[in-house]
Amino acid sequence: MTRPTPEQIAAFADGQLEGAEHADVAAAIAADDALTAQVAAHQALRARLSSHFAPVTSEAVPDRLVALLSAPQTDVVDLAQVRARRRGLPRWTWIAGPALAASLVLAVTLGRGGGTGADYAPDQIAAALDSQLVGEQPGDAPVRVLLSFRDAAGAYCRAYSASATSGIACRDGEGWKLQGAASPGAGRANGEYRQAGSEAEIMAQAQALAAGPALDAEAEKAARARGWRGPSD
């Protein structure tokens, strides 16, 4: 029998060998005290490393990490600042964040050719806004609705995210009107649209527009049943 390689000995100690290779290596190790000792040393090292780091998993997770996931809509501004600082992004990214996100979204939307008009969500997004409920949409939906709320005028608004664009649209008599000022801004790289339109910034916009809390599942269902039309329509 050929002597097992160091890789095979380690793999054996980690339980990573299978079939004939496992049988061969196990037999070689069993027949050689030095190899048996090596396997024991590997396993002791693994136990020492895993016990050294085990306490981390029982520590309380810092609030700042939980906050990123549980309440993005209240932390967005801080987040954008932190991110800009950490990643060395151009400063305008967070200073101009919400407005910029909206204008880039519009530029992208215009470029693809909208349905009702430049100010309105194109068909695919409009269809998702009409039909999808936040809590029941598939995780891989091409357009994901992030949340629904009502603006100061009582109109229903919905924030959404799709692969090429994200933003907020509010329902009026004609359709889903995109929120934010249009600006000529076409011709930038994809990554920049994605950066500017990140969900945290969309959430910041939503927070600025919303006149109350986000709709819960029941309220969303009721709003959908009424065609997303506010009482004033």
Residues near another protein, by CB under 8 A: 6-7, 10-11, 14, 16, 41-42, 44-46, 48-50, 52-54, 56-59, 61-62, 64-66, 68-73, 79, 82-83, 86-87, 134-135, 138-140, 144, 146-147, 149, 161-163, 194-195, 198-200, 213-214, 217
Which residue, 90 or 213, is less far from another protein as judged by CB? 213
Which residue, 116 or 161, is less far from another protein as judged by CB? 161
Torsion 219-220-226-232 (CA) sign: positive
To another protein, the closest distance from the beta carbon of 93 in angstroms equals 12
Query: What single-letter amino acid sits at 102?
Result: A
Q: How far apart are CA 233 and CA 226, in angstroms?
A: 11
Which residue, 167 or 175, is less far from another protein as judged by CB? 167
To another protein, the closest distance from the beta carbon of 174 in angstroms equals 28
To another protein, the closest distance from the beta carbon of 6 in angstroms equals 5
Which residue, 22 or 83, is less far from another protein as judged by CB? 83
The alpha carbons of the chain give a radius of gyration, in whole angstroms, of 27
Structure tokens at 161: 């995210």
Which alpha helices (DSSP H) does 88-122 contain, by range?
92-95, 97-112
Q: Which of 123, 84, 121 is nearest to 201 (CA)?
A: 84
Which residue, 126 or 162, is less far from another protein as judged by CB? 162
What is the DSSP secondary structure assignment for residue 214, as one 8-state letter?
P
- Give phi and psi for 167, each to the nearest 5: 170, -160
To another protein, the closest distance from the beta carbon of 66 in angstroms equals 7
- Give phi and psi for 107, each to the nearest 5: -60, -45
To another protein, the closest distance from the beta carbon of 150 in angstroms equals 12
Torsion 201-205-207-210 (CA) sign: negative
